[in-house]
Structures are given as C-alpha cells and as structure tokens.
Structure 1
Amino acid sequence: MPGPPPEREEAPPEPVRQMPAATVRCPNCRTENAADRTLCVRCALLLDPGPPPAVRPPWWRRLLRRERRAAPVAGTRPRPAWRRPRVALPVVLLLLAVGVWFALPHMGNWLGLARDETGMPESLPPAAVRASSALKGHPADAAFDGFTNRYWAPATQDGATLEADFEAPGVRVTKLVVFGGTSAKKDEFLTQARPARIQVELIAADGNTSTHHITLKDQPGQQTFDVRGKDVVRARLAPETWYGAGHGHRLALAEVEFFGHRS
C-alpha cells in the first residue's frame, strides 16, 4: 500500500517593506517635517501658507471693470447690488477737468481776492498828487499829508477834481478813508462846506477804469468805504454834492487815504 504523501516544506514569509513616511519640507529653514504637521518643528513657521493673496488692480483698471460679487451665505439676506456708473462717472471727471482748465487763467484773481479778504490792508500813500485848482494855503497835497487840521480847498467847486498817482506796476485798493470838512474837530468842522457825495475813479495800468460813488455823512471824523481796484496807477476824486454850501463857504476836504496791498 502506498504510504502518506511527503510533507511539503512551507516557504518562509517575505518581509513586509515599510513605506517611508511622507514628509513636508519647511519653506523657510528647509527642515523635513511629518506630513500631518502644521508648524515646522524647527522654526515654527506655517508649513503650508497657501496661495498668496490676490493683488487688487489699480483704481483706473477697476473703474470700468465689473467685479463678480461673492455668493451670499446660506440663511442671510443678500445686500442690494450697487451699480457702478459706467458712463456718468467718466463724464463727471471729464467735466471737472475742463472746468479746471478754464479756471486756471482766473486763479491769480481768486488768490488775490482771498489775500484781500484774509490779509491786513496797508496804507498806500501816493507818489504824486494834483488838483484841478486850489486856494492859496490849501494845496492838493494837504489832503494826503496825514494831518486832519489841514485841508484841500478848490478855487472853483464846480468840476473840482483831486488826483493821486501810484508807482508802477500799481496797487490793489480795497478801502478808502475820507475826512470831510476842514478838521476832525467838531467845533472846526462846520466852518466850511463839506463833501456829501464823491465820485471815485480807479484807473489801472492797462487803462481800465472802475467808478465808485460814495456818500459821506455830515459829521467830523473818519469815514471808511469799500472801494476795490487792482493794478491801480491813478485815483481821481470828484466831489458831486456838498453840505453847507453858500454864505462864502468853500468846499474843504481834510484827508484822503487809500488802503490795500502792493502788487
């Protein structure tokens, strides 16, 4: 009878090869870290910082580009969309640019006006004065000498004028101070006729003339008026009416002074 089959020898099991653990290299210090780590074991910096933040384009590129809105979170009410003006805004910018272009020639006048309003005006004494006529002892320069007890008196009241010249390139006049009569003292004020209405002409270097009419009160002392002119090289005062005329009274003008800024 045949015997039992011979026993087969079993082959030894093959060794299991262990796969090397995945690692992540630190982008800062280049140290190998386990794949499940978030921070580097050496420098503690973030191992996977993610993609860099998107750079926002400049405003001039965003002006006419429509950006996509982020989808609203579930359960929230979306905000109403703001529609960017695609035509109106460029038109407004164009109009502003045109306005600035046309305003440039007038910037000097505006700056001069701002200086007149904010700066303290200074006295503007004339370089030369003259009158249509004058009584003896009462010349034209008596009205510009800074003393109120001396006065100019024309020999002829009708058509009388008083002129003052300023050095080139002229001055910017803002105010006019007038002392009517023979003196600022009340007891001497009524001894002669006093101007009631004066026509003031400010003549610029280019020949343009601005005319003003001022009305004085019949009282002694200083009276100030807003009289404006730029690049003024000559001022002409012409009394039109007066108080206390007749009975041998002569027209008297004690003092005239201009205030403003030098060009």
Structure 2
Amino acid sequence: PSPSDADRARSLLVPVADPEPRAPAEPAVAPVLPGRPDVQRPQVRTPGPEFGTDGGVPCPWCGTPTRPDRHFCARCAMPMAGRAETPGRLPWWRRLLIGRDTQTPWAGDRPRLRRGFGAILTWVVAAVVLTLVVTLVFKADDGYRAARDHFAKRASVVPDSFKASRSFPGHKPDLAFDTYSNTWWGPGVTQSGEGEWLEAHFEEPIRLLDVVITPGVSKQADQRSESARPHRIEATVTAADGSKSTKMLTLDQAAGGQSRKFRVGDAKSVRFTIRSSYGADDKKQVAIAEIEFFGRSNSNS
C-alpha cells in the first residue's frame, strides 16, 4: 500500500488504554497445613450392675452391691474387707523395741514427723538401754557370782599359818584364829597400835565371803575397857597370781563378833593392819580376840 493508504488506515484506529492487571481470585477455602489424625480417646463407662448382684454385699466404700465371692468392689476396686482398724497406741517400751511404724501411708498422707522432746527422749532411753545391755554382757559373770555368794550356805574357813608384826608375850597371832573368844592377840605396844598387823595364810587359794572380827580381849561387854579396840582395819588380800587388793573394815564400839562382807576370790593370804582404835591411851594396848573367815559350804557345789 501507498503511504497515503497507511496514514488513512492509522487514522481510522481508536486509541484504547492498556488493561489493568487483575487481582488474584480469593479461594473459597483457606489453605491449611496437613494435620495428624487424632487418636480416638477411650470412653469411660460406668460399670453396670453385675449379674447376680441382687441382694449382694454392699461395698463399704461406695455402697455398690457386689457378689459375695469377690474380694474387691467391681465399681471402685477397693477391698471388700473395709478400712483397716487403726491399732491403739503401744506402750513406750514396745514402741522402742519395734521402732518406727513401717505401715505404708495412703496416697496423699504424710507420716507424722517426730520432733522435739519426744524424739530426744527416745534416743536417750535407747542409749541407756544399750548401755545396760553392754554392761550386763560384760558383768554377767560377776553378777552370777555375786548372786551365788549371796544365797550360798556359809562354812568356817581356818587359815593354815599365822604371823604378826609383833606380839605381846603369851598372846601370839594364832590365838586370834583359835575359835575361842577368851584368848586374844596384842602387839605389846600402847596407844592405838597404828601400823601393827596380823596376817593369815592359806595353803590353797580360797574364796572368802565374810569375816567376823571380835575386838578387845573378850566378847564380854564388861571387859571392853581392859584394852583398846580396833576401829578401822585395812585388809590387804594377796591372790594366787600375786595381785593384791585392799578393803577397809570399820568396826563399831560394841562388844562381841562383828560380821563384815568380804567377797574375795583365790585368796592366799589376808593381812589386817590397824589404822585407828577406840579407847587408846598410854596404859592400854590394842587387842583382837578373834578373827573368823567364812566361805562357801561344800554342800553348795
């Protein structure tokens, strides 16, 4: 075509604006992420009445009738025996031996804590009991021997030999062990005779239970003033193994024999040393009329 035709054709065109961009269409359903399938939850159903429960035993916890042959309730699963009876409070000595309550508490219950003076007292009592038990274990032999000595029948024991620190002429130490109370031993010195001693010796070791001492020249009360009389006497016991023990004997001013517990075992010799005297003066010497030993009778063996 000629240029005129082209211009003519262009003049016939109607100018049209460019079309605007369209907005995206909104979806009918909002997009969602893929989800996990829900697990089907169990349905809790109330148990219905059991077959044969008509006239059954009511549960002590919830009252549901239950067959007599069941030990637990079909509804609440609690024991048909009911609640356990709470035992009474035990005496303190049984609680001390049993210890703390070992019963398992119910869920939600907290056992009572023992605090304060009660707990301290429990520990003190336990310590005292333990001390007594240990003491009894180690002293059982001594306790048995003491009990046997207490109930044993006594028999006189005569020493085999005698000696003294000094003796008044005609009053040797053997006269104090001759079983006669009208003979006596004296050191032959005036005043109290402190430090003077009289000793008895045994050939075989022997257990001595008691000793009877008659102070003065006689057991007669009207002869007490004729001599000084021992007041405190120190008894030194020599055992078979050579060991020595000492006992202090205190006598009264009364006339006659005075018994004292001795309780020594395996004695080989006993020395009586005068420490003080009654009625001592420059014209009197101390005197001992009799010393008697007593041990177990052979009938106790």
TM-score with structure 1 setting the length:
0.60
Selected match of 1:229 from 264, 277, 282? 264
User: Structure 1 unaligned runs (5+)?
Assistant: 1-69, 85-95
Indicate the residue corresponding to 2:14 in structure 1. none
Identical aligned residues as a percent: 33
In 1, Cα distance between equivalents of 2:252 and 2:84 = 73
Contact 1:124 1:261 in 2 (8 A): no
- The one-letter amino acid paired with 2:291 is V
Q: Render the CA deviation track for 1:10-46: whole Å, top value 9, x for unaligned.
A: xxxxxxxxxxxxxxxxxxxxxxxxxxxxxxxxxxxxx
CA shift in 2, pair 1:229/1:75, >3 Å: closer
Larger-gyration structure (1/2): 2
RMSD (Å) for aligned C-alpha atoms: 3.0
Instruction: Answer yes or no: is the 8 Å Cα contact 2:232–2:250 preserved in 1.
Output: yes
For residues 79 and 153 of structure 2, what CA distance do their matches in structure 1 show?
64
Q: Name 1:6's counterpart in structure 2.
A: none
- Tell me which of 66, 72, 83 is aligned to 1:77: 83
State which of 156, 172, 184 in structure 2 corresponds to 1:151.
184
TM-score by length of 2: 0.53
Structure 2 CA distance for partners of 1:171 and 1:248, relative to 1, 3 Å = same
> Are 2:220 and 1:214 equivalent residues in the alignment?
no
Cα distance, 1:179 vs. partner? Answer: 0.4
| Counterpart in the other structure of 2:281 | 246
Q: Is residue 116 of structure 1 aligned with residue 149 of structure 2?
A: yes
8 A Cα contact 2:194 2:276, kept in partner: no
Q: Cα offset for 1:75?
A: 5.1
Cross-structure match for 1:191: 226
Gaps of 5+ in 2: 1-70, 73-77, 88-100, 104-129
Matches of residues 1-263 of structure 1 in structure 2 within 5 Å?
74=80, 76-79=82-85, 83=102, 103=137, 108-156=141-189, 157-168=193-204, 170-261=205-296
- Give CA deviations for 1:182-229 in whole Å, capped at 9, x if unaligned: 001111121111111111111111122121111111121121112221
- The CA distance in 2 between the partners of 1:103 and 1:247, in whole Å, is 55
